[in-house]
Amino acid sequence: MQVPGHAARVMAEQQAMDCSGGSGNGRPAGEHFKILPAIDAILEYMRPVAVVGIGKTAFGAFPDKSLRALAVEATNHALADANLAASEVEAFYLGNFAGPSFVGQNHLAPYVGMAAGFEGIPCTRFEDACASSGSAFFHAWLGVSSGIYDRVVVTGVEKMTSQTTPRVTEILAGAGDMASEGKAGATFPALFGMIARRHMQQYGTTREQLAAVAVKNHANGAKNPLAHMRKIITLEQAMNGKPIAEPLTVYDCSLISDGAAAVVLVPLEQARDLNPRYARILAVVQTSDHVALDSKADITVFPAVQAAGKKAYAIAKVGPQDIQLAELHDCFTIAEIVASEDLGFVEKGDGGPFVENGCTRLDGRIPINTSGGLKSKGHPVGATGVGQICDVVMQLRGDAGERQLARHQLGLAQNLGGSGATCVVSILEAA
Amino acid sequence: MDASRDGVIYTETIVHSPPEQFAADAPYQLAILELPNGNRTTIRVLGKEAADRVRIGDRATFVEERDGVAYYRKAKPASD
């Protein structure tokens, strides 16, 4: 856009002001992080790791594709991208939340692994609610960085659309505390509806600001050929959706989707020979917190996200101000706002104005969910964590098509389980 | 009545899209209640009318416990 001199300067100043990060976030990350010396000691023995292959299915409703077929499809894409044969893979990590409930199949890792051609190697399923494949990714990274394996595959998958929405709601509720909140009738939209109410009360966050997350993410998702709902929505539509759990409407909720995503990890020193378009993993951190929302001191904060973010910044030796793009876990619009605060992109309570002012759009200071996020891209629960890694790597490679950013050297992915009981934060750098 | 179980609403929502097992109850109000001792617990609020609904900061009165779930009503304004 061409704007005459003075007006352009004023606009630039306003933008800089509106989008400025929190004043406390410029300090070296990790200054207040007490276990840092331990991390430094451990990292001396860890090998740097790279993502050399990514693969995704489209996310959507696929009545003709089984859980296993989706997982194998994504896995094959990732192996082909990494120029590796299945027979060269040494361990397989599968992220899946509720295959046993959604499709009646247990023992999923060897079930998928054998179909993908991984004969005889360790195949293990990881379940941490919506952070299942984030958790699988973290453990796979440990396997390579510790020197045990040179070739591992991480696949995330979920097959949800074969069940009715009330049944899906019930299965998802199982990621909460079923002996307390679950028994009282808490659904996941209800838990995040209660978080939203409290955030609005404490910080003045508005309904419009929640809706701004959905409008932005749908605008991005419309540019993503693999997204579930490639539809631009207006603020008015987002404000007037069917109520799901007040104040959240259907437009505040992520989608019920089928889909899979996969990545291949190898030691950094071997990455270039396999695929020069690799991405270096600077940090992967997994943290945990209470499962029941009513056990938390302040529900407008995800301590697991704050801790994972601080630790990841410290290990990667970067701060929130250095991140050029982020895939955040927008299972609900409020979750993206809270995560943007907890990761230090803005001060606590400023996440609403941050998105409303356009700071997180494709042309904003820190573009968030350029893929369309869980809101528009879709949220096949167990696939989401690895899907985010794939989306960050696509941006780092410059392969994100219509939604490609000009600055794409350093990206962050944040995967959340339940109402904040598991968090995985990863920071990746372009080759 | 057990007044020690009365408390103040910390947050709330009205559930319109229930899990299968609570389909007959919807829409229903769910809340996190703060008790006098500072503990918080997830409760159901009785009543379907707008006047029955609680908001953050409202007081709620314990009514009964059914199947391990505590049911409350919005407290009446003090009559003094």
pLDDT digits (tens, 9 = 90+) for A364-403: 999 999 999 999 999 999 999 999 999 999 999 999 999 9
- Residue A331 carries which DSSP code? S
Residue A61 belongs to a domain: yes
Query: How many interchain CB pairs under 8 A, A with B?
Result: 93
Average pLDDT, chain A: 92
pLDDT at A366 (0 to 100) = 98
The rounded percent of chain A whose pLDDT value lies above 90 is 89
CA distance B43 to chain A (A): 6
The predicted pLDDT at position A30 comes to 39
In a domain, A348, yes or no: no
Yes or no, beta carbons of A197 and B13 under 8 Å apart = yes
- Does the residue A64 lie in any domain? yes
Contact between chains at B44 and A184 (C-beta distance less than 8 A)? yes
- For residue A174, what is the nearest residue in chain B, using CA coordinates? B19
Which domain, by its residues, includes A132?
49-162+256-274
Q: Once rounded to an integer, what is the mean pLDDT over residues A279-289?
A: 97
The confidence score (pLDDT) of residue A20 equals 56
Does A418 fall in a domain? no
Q: To the nearest whole percent, how much of chain A has pLDDT over 70?
A: 90
Tell me the DSSP string of A338-385. HHHHHTTSS-TT-HHHHHHTTTTSTTSSS-B-TT-HHHHT---GGGHH
pLDDT digits (tens, 9 = 90+) for A218-274: 999 999 999 999 999 999 999 999 999 999 999 999 999 999 999 999 999 999 999
Q: Best mutation site among A195, A201, A246 for testing chain B: the one with the most B CBs within 10 Å?
A: A246
- Please count the structural domains in chain A: 1
Whole-complex ipTM: 0.96
- At A184, the pLDDT band (50, 70, 90 cuts) reads very high
Amino acid residing at A109: A
Best A194, A203, A296 residue to mutate vs chain B (most B CBs within 10 Å): A194
Residue A62: pLDDT over 80: yes
Q: Residues of B with CB below 8 A from A243's CB?
A: 14, 16
Chain A residues closer than 8 Å to B67 by CB? 183
Per-residue pLDDT tens for A305-343?
A: 999 999 999 999 999 999 999 999 999 999 999 999 999
- In this prediction, residues A170-197 reach a mean pLDDT of 96
CA A429/CA A396 separation, integer angstroms: 7
Asked if residue A62 is part of any domain, the answer here is: yes
Domain-located, residue B62: yes
Domain-located, residue A358: no
Q: Quick check: is B66 in a domain?
A: yes
Q: Is residue A302 part of a domain?
A: no
Q: How would residue A44 be classed by pLDDT, with cut points 50, 70 and 90?
A: confident
Q: How far apart, in Å, are the Cα atoms of A278 and each of A125, A339, A407? A: 25, 27, 17
For chain B, the domain total comes to: 1
Helix (H, G, I), strand (E, B) or coil at A417: strand
Mean pLDDT of A99-105: 96
Is A130 a known active-site residue?
A: yes
B80 is a domain residue: no
Q: Which chain A residues contact residue B65 at CB under 8 A?
A: none
The reply to whether A379 belongs to the active site is yes
pLDDT at A279: 98
Provide the residue-wise pLDDT of chain B in tens; the chain has 80 residues. Answer: 567 899 999 999 999 999 889 999 999 999 999 999 999 999 999 999 999 999 999 999 999 999 999 999 999 876 54
**pLDDT for residue A1 is more than 50:** no
pLDDT at position A33, please? 42
Q: Which domain holds residue B65?
A: 3-30+40-74
CATH of the domain at A120: 3.40.47.10
Q: Are strands B69-74 and B40-45 parallel, antiparallel or unpaired?
A: parallel
Cα–Cα distance for residue pair A156/A350, rounded to 1 Å: 33
What counts of helices (H) and strands (E) characterise chain A? 17, 11
Mind listing the pLDDT tens digit for each residue in A2-43? Answer: 333 444 444 444 444 456 554 334 334 334 344 455 666 667
Q: What is the C-alpha to C-alpha distance for residues A119 and A89, in angstroms, rounded to an integer?
A: 9
pTM over 0.80? The answer is: yes
- Look at residue A74 and tell me if it is in a domain: yes
Residues of A with CB under 8 A from a CB of B: 164-167, 169-170, 173, 179-181, 183-187, 189-190, 193-195, 197-198, 201, 242-248, 292-295, 299
Domain-located, residue B16: yes
